[in-house]
Structure 1
């Protein structure tokens, strides 16, 4: 069986393994994704990055992580 996955862009989040708030931060990032899904969209939606980058940047100010955007 073959499946084609469309090219898409995604956030690559870099959280230090020893960062004490890593799990809390990851939960907040997951909340962003869940809220997006409740709107009937998915991470494969072409505007996923644009729709959520401000939210990710707000979390970045609160937690210690970096991110990049990669095309897959």
Structure 2
């Protein structure tokens, strides 16, 4: 069986070691909730959707201010 994963862009999230682990876990849970909310709002669309980054980046930036993580957007295959 073959599976072809489309080329797509994704958020690469990094919580620096200086951030308290409990705070990092809380921030990660909120990031995961963004993905779940996106799926619900877009009829099950996933992180592979063409507009996922644009649709979610404002929420990710808000969490970045609160939790202090770093992120980049990378093109992956």
Q: TM-score range by the shorter chain?
A: over 0.9
Gaps of 5+ in 1: none
Counterparts of 1:28-67 in structure 2 under 5 Å? 28-39=30-41, 40=43, 41-67=45-71
Question: More deviation in 17-26 or 51-60?
Answer: 17-26
Could you state the TM-score of these two structures normalised by the residue count of structure 2?
Answer: 0.87
Counterparts of 1:15-34 in structure 2 under 5 Å? 15-17=15-17, 19-20=19-20, 21-34=23-36
Tell me how far apart the structure 1 counterparts of residues 39 and 30 of structure 2 sit (CA, whole Å). 14
Question: Deviations for 1:30-59, whole angstroms, at most 9, x for unmatched residues?
Answer: 110010011222111000000000000010
CA RMSD of aligned residues (A): 1.1
Tell me how far apart the structure 2 counterparts of residues 13 and 59 of structure 1 sit (CA, whole Å). 11
State yes or no: 1:13 paired with 2:13: yes
Question: More deviation in 18-27 or 44-53?
Answer: 18-27
Could you state the TM-score of these two structures normalised by the residue count of structure 1?
Answer: 0.93
Q: How many residues align?
A: 72
